[in-house]
């Protein structure tokens, strides 16, 4: 046991203070729940669990001695160490205690969702300093449509081992992070069976206008939007009035949907009559924008949000937020005040009449 | 000034309609696009002119040109000679085929612009600082001017002057008094328009500044959100309508719900009401409400034929009955004031919360406060000038017309509008000197013939569609009125010309205007060209009108949406629709020509789009 640090922690009990324990992704889901935002339920296998796993398997010294003397430019050496370490991790077994703890949480989650062997997403949740950035880690180690405790455990180990990809190793060497200090958490989360999904920015990414919300949406799972395999519908919503001020309905040729037999997501072609249909109804656009506004308010800054609309639940309770992170492009650009140095009302008025209004 | 490619005709390309040759003499000579002065012609051709359809949806009668001249002088003098607005002088005017074209005149030399700054800062600064005090003074001046107008007597010409002229040593004749009375009425009209612009330029400048600040922070903010933040709520423009509602409530209270509906004619209703005590009580309230609140024009007040409620009591009666029916049916006729106020405060607060630095937030607060201070004037002056004063003014001129008719100068009192005000003065000299001398005046052989011809010309003018603009479009417009009030931007001009071109082919299915009041609805269109048509409007229809004015107020509780030809986000229709929470698209250019009554249309007041769907 690692003192009082829990090995498994429900998302409801995560918050922004618990990044060291559950990683950024799970902490953020906990924060969303605290902001009264609907997220698919789940739990985190914590960094304490990771550390105990490594200890129980007797891997600690084996791993770190392999890494200690690697040079920053020894690419081949890094590749080889990565391969060895990842195999070691993936081939080791969980302790009975840890396995039971994870299995019990999974059983409860399945019960809660009324589905035996509930399909879940298993994804790594890095603690901020360990890996270059969330998207770097996230691309490699998200496993979707996982069912049953055995598959969950093996994929959890795959997430653990993602801490030792050649790229992650190289990054730590370059940036002088200690291999011994790093840890990783893994989130186990109900798969949203999405009818439609996409992303949302709580500003206009083109102009940086914070009074607008941009929603991208397409049929099926969000992968199609995130990976760029479809051109999504675009809705521009006024954040203050929640009016949809602009909508572009595109031709959406494909969608990721769940395959009934394999319980995994597959890319299918949409029937022609559905391709040009608006992917979400107007009420959902408004509701999404309302949620985006609440999330932004909770975090106090513009956000980049992944969302999905569940196929099985009725309108009004079927929108889920999968992920929310601070918007970075405009946050870094945000610069000088627009007032341009005018000190009082008259100077503002003077500057306005001098500038005039462009006719185009 | 750099200029974009001209997509509008130049003045010399406009045709003179066959049969109207010589029409120019109906209007002031300086309004003509000339061909006999190369320098002036060059200026005319190189200048951007736009059609002032906001004020003149119809061709101008020669007499009615008085208000155009009045604001030509007043607006320009305040910008250029009084407040010295650095980059703009006045707004120039021309006419073609009875329609007015105007053009904001920039100061071209950057050094001169700079030189105008100190005076502007001092003078405009003084007005903004002392706004409330000066505005209170304004109201006094305006009321005094209206009282003076009411006091002007238009005397008839007696066979023999009264004995008192002799015994009191008056030393003046009724002939002289008639000439003077006419001059006085005209002078008061011009004076009233001097006051009209005392605050308006600065009011719009403060508004444009606040708008500009908001647009810099939020490039995508709709104009209507900005106006929503500063819109007044208890402005007197709504008072005439409130009076009607009160009378409707009173009628129901007194059990007169049926009595007021006895006839659509007020005279008949009055006859009936006079027979009972409760009827008399109601009539007393009605009389009280009339002054000044029924001095409200059924149009914009800019045309002599826009009669006021006091001129035609059937109009307010019909609205009172509409309201009374609603009360009887258990519906509310109150403006949702509390909700409007709350919504305004919420929107303001939410936008304010989005500002992420102190400097911009402070500027937002200051500019919002200034805009809110100046704004009531922008809405209230209309009642004093265009409605109250004008209603009385037109009738004074009718009294002059009656005397001219009596002396056979014109065949009908209403013919007087076909004469320029200077021609009327000339005719009155002819009339009074002939009366004094006891000879035949020349006028009866001159004017009726000329008027007959002018009526034909006006008919032909009405059938002509003025192009929305002439000449090359400038890239930047600094004149505060042009954008805010007329809604002139490249986009709107492009939309206007597009619809104008397609409209002739009759195949327009969608067009755009300004998003005036948010929301989207579908419904049956009802095209109302004048306020007289609003009686036909059914509950839940979409009003399509050239423009609206306070006397249209009763329609706003009935309609689902409103579409106008002319006006920016500050126009009457946009302001009132926001108050009532009804979607509106304004400044579409040609909605009344494109849409037919009975068609299903979709109005998106958030984006300004209109679709004809069947």
- Under the banding of pLDDT at 50, 70 and 90, the label for residue B6 is very low
| CB contact (8 A) between residue A353 and residue B367 | no
Q: Which B positions 90-149 lie with beta carbon below 8 A of chain A?
A: 113, 117, 120-121, 124-125, 128
Q: What is the pLDDT of residue B261?
A: 93
Q: What is the pLDDT of residue B5?
A: 40
Q: What is the pLDDT of residue A25?
A: 86
- How far is A156 from A187, CA to CA, in rounded Å? 9
Of A144-148, A311-315, B372-376, B398-402, minimum mean pLDDT range: A311-315
- Indicate the angle between helix axes B200-217 and A345-355, nearest 10 degrees: 90
- Under the banding of pLDDT at 50, 70 and 90, the label for residue B291 is very high
Q: Which B positions 196-235 lie with beta carbon below 8 A of chain A?
A: 205-206, 208-209, 212-213, 216-222, 225
- How far is B449 from A340, CA to CA, in rounded Å? 64
CA distance B469 to chain A (A): 14
The residue ranking higher by pLDDT, B344 or B614, is B344
Q: What is the pLDDT of residue A356?
A: 64
Does pLDDT of A321 surpass 80? Answer: yes
In angstroms and rounded to an integer, the radius of gyration of the C-alpha atoms of chain B is: 25
Rounded to two decimals, the pTM is 0.78
Does pLDDT of A165 surpass 70? Answer: yes
Average pLDDT on A326-336 reads 76
- How far is B210 from B91, CA to CA, in rounded Å? 23
The CATH number that domain A8-190 falls under is 3.30.1490.20
The residue ranking higher by pLDDT, A182 or A249, is A249
Burial string for A55-87 (b: 16+ CB within 10 Å, else e) reads eebeeeeebeebbeebeeeeeebbeebbeebbe
Average pLDDT on B510-527 reads 88
Q: What is the pLDDT of residue A139?
A: 43
The rounded Cα A163 to chain-centroid distance in angstroms is: 17
CA distance A346 to chain B (A): 6
**Residue A303 falls in which region: left (phi positive, over 0), alpha (psi -120 to 50) or beta:** beta
Does pLDDT of B532 surpass 80? Answer: no
Average pLDDT on B273-293 reads 96
Integer CA distances (angstroms), B349 to A303, B343, B352, B434, in order = 20, 10, 5, 70
The rounded Cα B468 to chain-centroid distance in angstroms is: 18
- How far is B481 from B571, CA to CA, in rounded Å? 12
Residue of A239, A245, A338 with shortest CB distance to B217 = A338
Contact B96, B466 (CB under 8 A): yes
Percentage of chain B with pLDDT > 90? 63
| CB contact (8 A) between residue B478 and residue A236 | no
Does pLDDT of B500 surpass 80? Answer: no
- How far is A122 from A142, CA to CA, in rounded Å? 6
Q: What tokens were used for B220? A: 């995508």
Of A43-47, A262-266, B204-208, minimum mean pLDDT range: A262-266
Domain boundaries, chain A: 8-190, 194-333
| Average per-residue pLDDT for chain A | 86
CA distance A275 to chain B (A): 23
The CATH number that domain A194-333 falls under is 3.30.470.20
Q: Which fold has domain B505-612?
A: Glucose Oxidase; domain 1 (3.50.30)
The residue ranking higher by pLDDT, B107 or B489, is B107
Percentage of chain B with pLDDT > 70? 93
| CB contact (8 A) between residue B483 and residue A241 | no
| CB contact (8 A) between residue A342 and residue B363 | yes
Segment B126-157, tens digit of pLDDT: 999 999 999 999 999 999 999 999 999 999 99
β partners of residue B91:
B104
Of A335-339, B168-172, B227-231, B516-520, minimum mean pLDDT range: A335-339
Question: What residues of chain B lie within 8 A of the CB of A360, using their CB?
Answer: 4, 475, 489-491
Most confident among A66-80, A115-129, B183-197 (mean pLDDT): B183-197
Domain boundaries, chain B: 236-328, 505-612
Does pLDDT of B446 surpass 90? Answer: yes
Burial string for B443-458 (b: 16+ CB within 10 Å, else e) reads bbeebbebbebbeebb
Does pLDDT of B110 surpass 60? Answer: yes
Q: What is the pLDDT of residue B563?
A: 94
Q: What is the pLDDT of residue B339?
A: 84
Does pLDDT of B560 surpass 60? Answer: yes
Q: What are the phi and psi torsion angles at A278 (to 5°)?
A: -60, 130
Integer CA distances (angstroms), A262 to A219, A347, B12, in order = 20, 68, 77
Q: What is the pLDDT of residue A353?
A: 82
Does pLDDT of B594 surpass 90? Answer: no
| Average per-residue pLDDT for chain B | 89
The nearest alpha carbon in chain A to B119 belongs to A350
User: For chains A and B, what is the number of CB pairs under 8 angstroms?
Assistant: 137
Of A9-18, A190-199, B584-593, minimum mean pLDDT range: B584-593
Contact B181, B234 (CB under 8 A): no
Environment class of residue A234 by beta-carbon count within 10 Å: exposed (0-12), middle (13-18) or buried (19+)? middle
Does pLDDT of B457 surpass 50? Answer: yes
- Under the banding of pLDDT at 50, 70 and 90, the label for residue B497 is low
Average pLDDT on B283-297 reads 94
Average pLDDT on B548-555 reads 78
DSSP string, B519-543: -EEEEEEEE-SSGGGGGGPPTT-EE
The rounded Cα B187 to chain-centroid distance in angstroms is: 20
| CB contact (8 A) between residue B477 and residue A207 | no
Does pLDDT of A1 surpass 50? Answer: no
**Residue B540 falls in which region: left (phi positive, over 0), alpha (psi -120 to 50) or beta:** left
Of A67-81, A280-294, B119-133, minimum mean pLDDT range: A67-81
CA distance A214 to chain B (A): 12
Does pLDDT of B495 surpass 70? Answer: no
Which of A205, A190, A86 is CA-nearest to residue A145?
A: A190
Q: Is B591 helix (H, G, I), strand (E, B) or coil?
A: helix
Average pLDDT on B231-259 reads 89
Does pLDDT of A236 surpass 90? Answer: yes
Segment A24-70, tens digit of pLDDT: 889 989 989 988 888 999 999 999 999 999 999 999 888 888 888 88
- How far is A24 from A29, CA to CA, in rounded Å? 9
Sign of torsion, CA A120 A126 A131 A135? Answer: positive
| CB contact (8 A) between residue B606 and residue A207 | no
CA distance B197 to chain A (A): 17
Of A205-209, A284-288, B382-386, minimum mean pLDDT range: A205-209
Does pLDDT of A136 surpass 50? Answer: no
């Amino acid at each position: 046991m690692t003192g009082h640090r829990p090995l498994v922690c429900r998302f409801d009990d995560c918050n922004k203070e618990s990044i060291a324990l559950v990683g950024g992704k799970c902490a953020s889901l906990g924060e969303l729940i605290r902001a009264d935002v609907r997220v698919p339920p789940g739990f985190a296998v914590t960094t304490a669990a990771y550390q105990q796993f490594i200890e129980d398997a007797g891997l600690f010294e084996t791993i770190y001695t392999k890494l200690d003397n690697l040079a920053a430019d020894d690419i081949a050496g890094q590749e080889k160490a990565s391969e060895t370490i990842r195999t070691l991790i993936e081939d080791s077994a969980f302790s009975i205690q840890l396995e039971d703890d994870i299995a019990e949480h999974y059983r409860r989650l399945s019960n809660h969702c009324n589905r035996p062997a509930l399909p879940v997403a298993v994804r790594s949740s890095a603690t901020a300093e360990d890996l270059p950035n969330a998207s770097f880690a996230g691309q490699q180690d998200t496993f979707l449509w996982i069912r049953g405790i055995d598959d969950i455990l093996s994929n959890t180990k795959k997430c653990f081992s993602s801490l030792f990809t050649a790229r992650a190793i190289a990054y730590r060497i370059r940036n002088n992070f200690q291999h011994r200090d790093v840890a990783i958490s893994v989130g186990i989360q109900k798969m949203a069976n999405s009818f439609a999904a996409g992303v949302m920015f709580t500003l206009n990414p083109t102009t940086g206008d914070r009074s607008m919300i941009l929603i991208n949406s397409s049929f099926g799972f969000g992968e199609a939007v995130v990976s760029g395999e479809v051109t999504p519908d675009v809705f521009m919503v006024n954040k203050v009035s929640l009016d949809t001020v602009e909508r572009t309905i595109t031709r959406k040729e494909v969608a990721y949907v769940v395959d009934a037999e394999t319980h995994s997501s597959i890319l299918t072609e949409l029937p022609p009559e559905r391709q040009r249909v608006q992917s979400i109804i107007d009420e959902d656009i408004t509701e999404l924008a309302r949620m985006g506004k609440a999330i932004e308010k909770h975090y106090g800054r513009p956000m980049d949000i992944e969302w999905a609309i569940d196929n099985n639940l009725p309108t009004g309770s079927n929108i889920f937020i999968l992920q929310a992170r601070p918007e970075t492009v405009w946050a870094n650009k945000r610069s000088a005040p627009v007032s341009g140095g005018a000190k009082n009302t008259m100077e503002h008025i003077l500057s306005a009449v001098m500038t005039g209004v462009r006719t185009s | 000034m750099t200029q974009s490619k001209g997509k509008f005709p130049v003045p010399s390309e406009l045709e003179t309609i066959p049969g109207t040759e010589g029409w120019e003499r109906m209007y002031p000579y300086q309004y003509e696009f000339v061909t006999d002065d190369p320098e002036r012609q060059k200026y005319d051709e190189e200048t951007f002119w736009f059609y002032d359809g906001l004020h003149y949806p119809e061709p101008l009668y020669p007499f009615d040109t008085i208000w155009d001249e009045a604001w030509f002088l007043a607006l320009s003098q305040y910008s250029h000679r009084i407040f010295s607005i650095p980059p703009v002088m006045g707004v120039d005017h021309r006419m073609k085929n009875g329609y007015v074209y105007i053009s904001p005149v920039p100061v071209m030399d950057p050094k001169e612009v700079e030189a105008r700054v100190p005076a502007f800062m001092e003078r405009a600064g003084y007005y903004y600082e002392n706004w409330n005090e000066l505005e209170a003074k304004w109201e006094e001046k305006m009321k005094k001017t209206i009282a003076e107008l009411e006091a002007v007597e238009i005397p008839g010409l007696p066979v023999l002057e009264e004995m008192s002229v002799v015994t009191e040593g008056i030393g003046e004749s009724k002939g002289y008094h008639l000439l003077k009375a006419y001059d006085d009425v005209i002078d008061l009209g011009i004076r009233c328009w001097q006051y009209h612009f005392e605050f308006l330029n600065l009011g719009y400048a403060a508004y444009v500044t606040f708008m500009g600040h908001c647009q810099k922070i939020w490039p995508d903010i709709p104009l209507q959100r900005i106006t929503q933040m500063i819109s007044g709520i208890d402005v007197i423009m709504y008072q005439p309508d409130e009076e009607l509602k009160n009378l409707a409530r009173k009628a129901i209270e007194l059990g007169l719900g049926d009595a007021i509906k006895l006839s659509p004619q007020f005279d008949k209703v009055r006859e009936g009401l006079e027979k009972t005590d409760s009827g008399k009580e109601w009539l007393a309230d009605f009389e009280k409400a009339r002054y000044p609140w029924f001095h409200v024009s059924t149009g914009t007040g800019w045309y002599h034929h826009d009669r006021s409620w006091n001129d035609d009591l059937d109009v307010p009666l019909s609205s009172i009955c509409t309201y009374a029916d609603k009360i009887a049916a258990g519906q509310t006729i109150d403006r949702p004031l509390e909700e409007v106020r709350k919504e305004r405060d919420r929107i303001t607060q939410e936008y304010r919360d989005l500002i992420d630095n102190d400097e911009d937030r402070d500027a937002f607060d200051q500019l919002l406060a200034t805009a809110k201070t100046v704004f009531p004037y922008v809405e209230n002056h209309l009642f004093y000038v265009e409605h109250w004063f004008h209603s009385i003014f037109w009738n004074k001129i009718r009294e002059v017309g009656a005397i001219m008719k009596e002396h056979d100068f014109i065949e009908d009192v209403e013919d007087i509008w076909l004469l320029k005000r200077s021609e009327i003065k000339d005719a009155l000299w002819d009339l009074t000197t002939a009366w004094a001398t006891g000879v035949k005046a020349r006028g009866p052989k001159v004017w009726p013939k000329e008027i007959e011809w002018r009526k034909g010309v006006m008919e032909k003018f009405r059938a002509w569609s003025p192009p929305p603009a002439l000449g090359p479009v400038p890239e930047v417009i600094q004149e505060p009125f042009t954008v805010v009030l007329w809604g002139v931007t490249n986009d709107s001009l492009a939309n206007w010309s597009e619809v104008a071109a397609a409209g002739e082919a009759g195949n327009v299915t969608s067009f755009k205007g300004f998003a005036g009041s948010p929301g989207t609805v579908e419904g049956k269109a009802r095209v109302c060209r004048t306020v007289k048509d609003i009686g036909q409007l059914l509950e839940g229809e979409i009003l399509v009108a050239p423009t609206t004015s306070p006397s249209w107020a009763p329609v706003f509780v009935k309609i689902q949406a409103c579409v106008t030809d002319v006006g920016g986000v500050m126009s009457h229709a946009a302001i009132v629709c926001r108050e009532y929470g009804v979607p509106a698209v304004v400044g579409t250019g040609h909605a009344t020509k494109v849409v037919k009554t009975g068609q299903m249309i979709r109005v998106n007041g958030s984006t300004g789009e209109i679709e004809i769907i069947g």
